[in-house]
A and B are shown apart, each in its own frame.
Chain A
Amino acid sequence: MPRSRIIFLAILAVAIIIAVFFGVARPQLEQAANDAATQQAVIRAQNATATARANVTNIRINYGTEKDSWLKAAVERFQVAHPEIRVELIGQGSMASYNALSQVTDDKNTFDGNKPIPTLWSPAASIQVNLLNSETTSPTKLNRELAINCKQLVLSPMAIMVWEDRAAAFEAAYKDKGGITLQNIADALSGPAQGSWGKLGGNPDWGLIKVGYTNPYESNSGIMMVIALANNFYNKPTRVTGAEATAPDFQKFMATLSNAVSQSLLSSSGLLMRDVIARGPASYDFVIVYEALGIENFKNVVGRHRQTIRFVYPKFNLYTDHPLCIIDHPSITPAEREAAKVFQNFLLSKDIQTLALTYGYRPADISIPIFGANTVFDDPELQAAGVGDAIGQELALPDGATIQQLLTVWRRSYTGS
């Protein structure tokens, strides 16, 4: 065999040995070593997780989605400060969660289609707490209040939000009659203009006046809108009576405003506000919802529609107060109840209450200033848009039976049944 061939074959053999080692043997050896190391790491991690799990208390908060952003930011901080408590947030329309909780019994650990019963409940307003407890205290139900130890977290008044170009046109049309009010919107809808922007002096391309609000059977802001309509129709801050709620003139007023919608009613205020900004003035002219949602999304509005929104407060108005209550149910363990109290206190701490300002909420802690302390409420653009402390005169809530009557009047107006 020629020498050159011997040398070539030798090189080839060495190359094969190197290649086999690097290509097959080495990865296999490394793989084996890695597998062993990985297995040990996995076992260590599993043990650590199991130990950690054993020491963690899980709590579930069912909450109205309107305060979604603030609550999520607060929970993020809470988890850092309290790793021993794991918080699960479950957003749901306040009326929908009230309806689901009103079906809770002591012998079941689930509600609302097999969901675990929440540890804490934070609907948008005390209205839902009162409605729930008035039901569960019945001897035929639980014979006790289901929502206990309630604490107000933050406040936000109702506001009529309207696009700047529409606000200018409407104010021009009603400049001698009080500008943007619920009565004037109803007048524009039912009067000679029949809701036509063109006939009101606005741009005819805007079509008909479109109102936005949430479904009162599913969302607190919808109920509040209905109550505000009643007090503003009767031009009084005192309680609306059952007779007033069912009076034909008021029913007509309710029908005019509640049917001036172009989109299907949404089940929660947070979803409504997102929809308003996503669809814009083509689908919503006047939106009746919490002030906080408008403030939180104020900057996004301009980015999407190149104009701002105006805030107008109804003459007789009401606040959403966001109570946070512990659910008194046998499925909630003492440890969970304690953890719930820790979380409740955390949300009422100065830092988290101040944080609420960033999201457009007025803190429940009255020692925290809203205006004049360089908060979001001091933004000159926001103030120019109408945000201020003159939020209208606070009205007295009707009793439960009248609220039910108002809901019925709304349902008949809206669905015709």
Chain B
Amino acid sequence: MNVLNALKAGFSRRLLALWLVVAIFATACSSDGGSGGGASNQPTPITPDAIKVTFTYGSEKDAWVKAVTQTFNQSNQRTASGKLIVAEPIPVGSTESAYDIVEGRAQPALWSPASRLLIPILNDEWLAKNGKEIVDPAECRDLVLSPIVIMMWRPMAEALGWPNQNIGWADIIKLATSPNGWADYGKPQFGKFRFGHTHPDYSNSGLQAIAAIAYAASGKQRGLTPDDVKAPDAVKFMQQVESSIAHYGRSTGFFGREMAARGTAYLSAAIVYENLVAENNKERGTRLEFPLVAIYPKEGTFQSDHPACIPDAPYMNADLKEAAGIYRNFLLANAQQQRALEFGFRPADTSIAIGAPLTRDFGVDPDQPKNTLSVPTAATLRAIREVWQQTKRKVNLTMLIDVSGSMREQDGTNTSRIQSAREGAKAFVDQLADEDTFTLITFSSNQLVLLENLPVGPNRDRIKREIDSLIAQGGTKLYDSIAFSIERMKLSTEKINALVVLSDGEDTESQRFTSPSTLMDRFGMRAEAAGPDVSIFTIGFGRAVESGDLQTILKTIASRGRGAFYKATIADISQIYQEISTFF
């Protein structure tokens, strides 16, 4: 409370005088010593004599990087010319970060994707654009290691024979393609096998996952060629594994966190880094539905080696290179490497023995993996990505858009909500594959089915024209419209069934359902049960979402609908739609 407020509050003069004395003494005491303890936790400001090291890195090591970078920034390290080094860590999906550099969207002084697999991809793209490579693999230093594993709920892994029996991709295929699901393993209560890995165009673990699947399909462990990958049997194998995918995603951390938080009804297993298994078991413990375990595929796997590279790019100068080198050395120093182990990574510093949390108590096996796969050539990787594009699970998508009167609001910009929603939705349609199917439903006081079960390929322009013609008017019948959309969906067993809902206001007119809980109960979408095979993604749009109530409602629907919730503004709605497209 300040003086003015105290006066306004009508404090007595005596009380005010007493407050003044206390305040003045407090000021005097706090100024004594002058160190400002609290200030040391603040980010170091960038001053003219400082140099900023932008560090883009795979999000899977976010917790470790942020923890140790705080220590770095507090240590006031300087270059030889005396410039203060300030590190700015920015987590980005590994594949995406490579393309950000190529497209000039990011200019990191230090880049650390999750694996060396990304270095030839970045170099290839940069070379084509700039006539030289940007990263020298010999210059890169591995920060930490973490094998790619299949993270599975312990009772499910046990049903497959873990830990006495080694499990591989063949077991996953058997489960994925069986109409009986877990019932084949004596566990009908587990229902259908639901599997997830990240989108290989955005995330390293997705790329490594499909490379490992391609190896398993060929029966090879090294020397994989584009012909091996494109062989009909190999393509079929990939298709079978992908048929069990619940949805894809942009970040490995997302799968790790969401699977742990939502339990068996969300996913049976996901391909993640080993550290996420240890981290989830360590952090969540008994709050998990069941403990999680790491399965190291018996055919072999990849080790993510997290190289940290200083790019040789025009935007780099000698000072920046030196500063990036100092920061990298800090990350490689023993103290930071010890901390990496705490976060579940295998330290690159080989003098550090592997210990907790990388133990069986936390679901991981430090004696695994027994075998790693050879890194494919750039040409083979291209072939793997092409085959994945052909075989990836397609999406049966319903887009539900709020066209109530409030969508005319401009939120202080020159564009209305409906205008920006139209642009975002059209950009989203551009991301869909030709074989995907599309349904467009709008709602205000009632629902209107504008397009239904159209294959996207031949109808892409028509869909976009239809989106362009949306007009805002009427009330908001949110719950009933979601129910209407689910009931209307023609569920596919081959495709990912997804509902993407955009709304800018709380429900004002629903009659069948009055709360998100009653709505989701109607479809059996509960924490402990899967319900229909639909993933629901919700977007809270505009100022109304700030109120909190709409946010809570949409979060509940997304969480119980095994999807994700996003908060969007007029400025970033296109980006949010783009983000959601990475799930398919």
Q: List 30 A-B contacts (CB under 8 A).
A: A12-B17, A15-B25, A16-B20, A18-B28, A20-B24, A22-B31, A23-B27, A27-B34, A96-B138, A203-B370, A205-B298, A207-B221, A208-B221, A208-B371, A218-B138, A261-B222, A262-B221, A262-B372, A262-B375, A263-B374, A264-B137, A268-B138, A274-B350, A275-B142, A278-B350, A282-B303, A282-B370, A300-B351, A303-B354, A304-B353
A121–chain B nearest beta-carbon distance, Å: 18
A5 (CB) vs chain B CBs: closest residue = B14
Q: Does A306 contact B (CB under 8 A)?
A: yes
Which residues in B have their C-beta under 8 angstroms from that of A263? 372, 374-375
The answer to the question of A37 belonging to the interface, with a C-beta cut-off of 8 Å to chain B, is no
The reply to whether the CB of A238 lies closer than 8 angstroms to some CB of chain B is no
A207 in contact with B28 (CB, 8 Å) = no
Chain A residues closer than 8 Å to B138, beta-carbon distance: 93, 96, 218, 266-268, 271
Q: In this assembly, does A368 line the interface, its C-beta being within 8 Å of a C-beta of chain B? A: no
Who on chain A is nearest to B119 by CB? Answer: A264
Residues of B whose CB lies within 8 Å of any CB of A are 14, 17, 20-21, 24-25, 27-28, 31-32, 34, 116, 137-138, 142, 145, 147, 166, 221-223, 298, 300, 303, 305, 346, 348, 350-354, 366-375
Residues of A within 8 A of B25 (CB): 15, 19
* A23, B24: Cβ atoms closer than 8 Å: yes
In the complex, A354 has a CB within 8 A of chain B? no
Partner of B24, one of A19, A206, A297: A19
User: Min CB distance, A201 to chain B, in Å?
Assistant: 16
Is B31 within 8 A of A27, CB to CB?
Answer: yes
Interface pair B116/A304, CB less than 8 Å apart:
no
A283 near B21: Cβ-Cβ < 8 Å: no
Question: Which residues from chain B contact A24 at a C-beta distance below 8 Å?
Answer: 31
Contacts of A20 in B (CB 8 A): 24
Flag A273-292 by CB within 8 Å of B: 1 or 0 each.
01101110111000000000
Instruction: Determine the residue in chain A with the shortest Cβ distance to B120.
Output: A264
Known: A27-B32, A264-B137, A282-B368; 14 extra A-B contacts, CB below 8 A, are A12-B21, A16-B24, A18-B28, A19-B25, A22-B31, A207-B370, A259-B222, A262-B375, A277-B350, A279-B305, A282-B370, A297-B350, A303-B351, A306-B367
Which of chain B's residues have a CB closer than 8 A to the CB of A23? 24, 27-28, 31
| B21 neighbours in A (Cβ, 8 Å) | 11-12, 15
CA gap between A96 and B142 in the complex, in Å: 20
Most chain A C-beta atoms within 10 Å of own C-beta, residue among B346, B353, B354, B374: B374
Q: Report the Cα distance A12→B369, complex, angstroms.
A: 73
Closest to A15 in B: B21
Closest A residue to B350 using CB positions: A277
Contacts of A18 in B (CB 8 A): 28
Within the complex, what minimum Cβ distance (angstroms) separates B120 from chain A? 9
Q: Is the CB of B369 within 8 A of A282?
A: yes
For residue A207, which residues in chain B have a CB less than 8 angstroms away from its CB?
Answer: 221, 300, 370-371
Q: How far is the CA of A22 from the CA of B223 in the complex (A)?
A: 75
The distance from the CB of A249 to the nearest CB of chain B, in whole angstroms, is 21
B145 and A304 form a contact (CB under 8 A): no
The residue on B at minimum CB distance from A14 is B21
A282/B31 contact (C-beta < 8 A), A15-B24, A264-B137, A277-B350 known:
no
Shortest CB-to-CB span from A211 to chain B, Å, is 11
Given A8-B17, A259-B223, A263-B375, residue A279 in contact with residue B352 (CB < 8 A):
no
Which residues of chain B have C-beta atoms less than 8 A from A12's C-beta?
17, 20-21
Q: Is the interface of B mostly helix, strand, loop or mixed?
A: loop
Interface residue ranges of A10-59 to B (CB < 8 Å): 11-12, 15-16, 18-20, 22-24, 27
CA distance A283 to B223 in the complex (A): 15
CB of A214, distance to nearest CB on chain B (Å)? 11
A27 to B394, CA, bound (A): 69
Q: Tell me the bound Cα distance from A18 to B300 in angstroms.
A: 74
Q: In the bound complex, do residue A279 and residue B372 qualify as a contact, i.e. CB atoms below 8 Å apart?
A: yes
Q: Which of A11, A261, A275 contacts B374 (CB 8 A)?
A: A261
User: Which residues on the A side are within 8 Å of B28 (C-beta)?
Assistant: 18-19, 22-23
In the complex, which of the residues B31, B370, B373 has the most CB atoms of chain A within 10 Å of its own CB atom? B370
Residue of A nearest to B136 (CB): A267
Q: How long is the Cα–Cα vector from A264 to B140 in the complex, in angstroms?
A: 13
How distant is the Cα of A18 from the Cα of B21 in the complex, in angstroms? Answer: 10
Question: Which residues of chain A have C-beta atoms less than 8 A from B366's C-beta?
Answer: 306
Closest B residue, CB atoms, query A279: B303
Q: A98 → chain B, closest Cβ, in Å?
A: 15
Measured CA separation A278–B222 after assembly (Å): 20
Docked CA distance A300–B353 (Å) = 7
Given A205-B298, A282-B303, A306-B367: A262 and B17 within 8 A (CB)?
A: no
How far apart are the CA atoms of A206 and B298 in the complex, in Å?
A: 9
Residues in A whose Cβ lies below 8 Å from that of B367: 305-306
Sorted from nearest, which 4 A-B pairs have the closest CB atoms? A303-B353, A207-B371, A19-B24, A23-B28
Across the interface, which residues of A come within 8 angstroms of B32, CB to CB? 22, 27
- In the complex, what distance in Å separates the CA atom of A297 from the CA atom of B350? 8
A residues in contact with B300, CB < 8 Å: 207, 282
Contact B14 A8 (CB under 8 A): yes
Cα separation A297 to B349 with both chains bound (whole Å)? 11
* Cβ distance B494 to chain A, nearest Cβ, rounded Å: 34
A207 to B34, CA, bound (A): 63
> CA–CA, A96 to B136, complex, Å?
13
Who on chain B is nearest to A267 by CB? B138
Q: Which residues of B contact A218 (CB under 8 A)?
A: 138
Nearest Cβ distance between residue B309 and chain A, in whole angstroms? 14
Q: A205-B371, A306-B367 are in contact. Are A264 and B17 (CB under 8 A)?
A: no
Kindly state the separation between the CA atoms of A274 and B21 in the bound complex, as whole angstroms. 63
When the two chains form their complex, are residues A278 and B348 in contact, meaning their CB atoms are under 8 A apart? yes
Give the docked Cα–Cα distance between A168 and B101 (Å): 48
CA distance A15 to B24 in the complex (A): 8
Instruction: Report chain A residues within 8 Å CB of B24.
Output: 15-16, 19-20, 23
What's the Cα separation between A282 and B373 when bound, in Å? 9
For residue A210, give the distance in angstroms from its CB to the closest CB of chain B.
8
- Kindly list chain B residues whose C-beta atoms are within 8 Å of the C-beta of A96: 138
Q: Which residues of the other chain, B, contact A304 by a CB distance below 8 angstroms?
A: 350, 353-354
In the assembly, what is the distance between CA of A261 and CA of B375, in Å?
Answer: 10
Docked pose: A96 CA to B303 CA in angstroms: 27
Kindly state the separation between the CA atoms of A268 and B137 in the bound complex, as whole angstroms.
12
The answer to whether A303 and B352 touch (CB under 8 A), given A207-B370, A279-B145, is yes
A207 to B346, CA, bound (A): 22
Least distance between B442 CB and chain A CB atoms (Å)? 53
Residue of B nearest to A12 (CB): B17
Q: Which residues of B contact A208 (CB under 8 A)?
A: 221-222, 371
Closest A residue to B145 by CB, please name it. Answer: A278
Task: Name the residue on A nearest B142 (C-beta).
Answer: A278
Chain A nearest CB, measured from B429 CB (Å): 40
B132 to chain A, nearest CB (A): 12
Q: Are B221 and A300 in contact (CB under 8 A)?
A: no
The chain A residue with its CB closest to the CB of B24 is A19
The interface residues of chain A lying within 8 Å CB-to-CB of B298 are: 205
User: For residue B27, which residues in chain A have a CB less than 8 angstroms away from its CB?
Assistant: 19, 23
B31 / chain A contacts, CB cutoff of 8 Å: 22-24, 27
- The answer for the CA separation of A266 and B116 in the assembled complex, in Å, is 12
Over the window 203-223 of chain A, the binary record of Cβ atoms lying under 8 Å from chain B Cβ atoms (1 yes, 0 no) is 101111000000000100000
Determine the distance from Cα of A151 to Cα of B370 in the docked complex, in whole angstroms: 44
For residue B22, which residue of chain A has the nearest CB? Answer: A15
Give Cα distance in the complex from A261 to B373, angstroms: 10
CA distance A268 to B138 in the complex (A): 8
A277: B residues at CB distance < 8 A:
350
A282 and B348 within 8 A (CB): no
Contact A274 B351 (CB under 8 A): no
What is the CA–CA distance of A282 and B351 in the complex, to the nearest angstrom? Answer: 19
User: Which chain B residue lies CB-closest to A23?
Assistant: B28
Q: How far is the CB of B23 from chain A (nearest CB, A)?
A: 9
Q: How far is the CB of B265 from chain A (nearest CB, A)?
A: 33
Min Cβ gap A161→B in Å is 14
When distances are taken between beta carbons in the complex, the residues of chain A under 8 Å from B221 are 207-208, 262
